[in-house]
Amino acid sequence: MKVIITGAAGFIGSNLTERLLNEDHEVIGIDNFDDYYSGKSLFLEQSMAHPNFSLIHGDILNLQLLKETMKGADVVIHLAAQAGVRISVKDPLKSHMVNTVGTLNVLMASLDGGVKRVINSSSSSVYGNIDDRSVTEEDLVIPVSPYATSKLAAEIYCRQFYELYGLDTVSLRYFTVYGPRQRPDMAIRIFTESILNGLPPKIYGDGEQSRDFTYVDDVVAAICSAMSAPELKGVPINISGGKPITINRLVSELQAICGRTDLDPIYFPPQPGDVNHTWGDPTLAIKLLNWKARTGIREGLRNYVEWYVNNEERRTILSSDISSTHSATSMSISNPLDDLLIYK
CB 39 within 8 A of CB 315: yes
**Which residue lies nearer to ligand NAD by CB, 6 or 47?**
6
Q: Which residues of the shown chain bind ligand NAD in the complex (CB under 6 A)? A: 6-7, 9-13, 30-34, 40, 59-61, 79-83, 98, 102, 121, 123, 174, 176-177, 183
Separation CA 177–CA 123 (nearest Å): 10
* Residue 312 DSSP one-character state: G
DSSP bridge pairs for 55: 29, 343
CB 81 to ligand NAD: min, Å: 3
At 321, which amino acid appears? D
**Which residue lies nearer to ligand NAD by CB, 263 or 331?**
331
Separation CA 291–CA 297 (nearest Å): 18
**Which residue lies nearer to ligand NAD by CB, 260 or 315?**
315
**Which residue lies nearer to ligand NAD by CB, 235 or 263?**
235
Neighbours of 239 (CB within 10 A): 30
CB 33 to ligand NAD: min, Å: 5
CB 30 to ligand NAD: min, Å: 6
266-268 and 202-204 strand pairing: parallel
Q: Is 269 helix (H, G, I), strand (E, B) or coil?
A: coil
**Which residue lies nearer to ligand NAD by CB, 162 or 178?**
178
CB 29 to ligand NAD: min, Å: 9
- Helix runs in the chain, H state only: 11-22, 45-48, 63-70, 85-90, 92-95, 102-113, 146-165, 187-196, 216-228, 247-258, 283-289, 297-310, 322-325, 336-339
CB 198 to ligand NAD: min, Å: 27
**Which residue lies nearer to ligand NAD by CB, 194 or 316?**
316
Active-site option among 147, 157, 178, 304: 147
**Which residue lies nearer to ligand NAD by CB, 263 or 303?**
303
Assess whether 147 carries a catalytic annotation: yes
| Nearest residue to ligand NAD, scored by beta-carbon proximity | 10
CA–CA–CA angle 228, 229, 234 (5° rounding):
115
CB 163 to ligand NAD: min, Å: 22
Q: What is the DSSP string of 62-73?
A: -HHHHHHHHTT-
**Residues contacting 101, CB < 8 A, separation 6+:** 61
Q: Is 249 helix (H, G, I), strand (E, B) or coil?
A: helix
Count Cβ atoms within 10 A of the Cβ of residue 298 and give its class: 0-12 exposed, 13-18 middle, 19 or more buried. Answer: exposed
Separation CA 338–CA 324 (nearest Å): 25
E strands, 161-304, are 168-174, 177-178, 202-204, 210-211, 214-215, 236-239, 245-246, 266-268
At 195, which amino acid appears? I
CB 215 to ligand NAD: min, Å: 11
> Would you please indicate which residues are annotated as catalytic (active-site) residues?
147
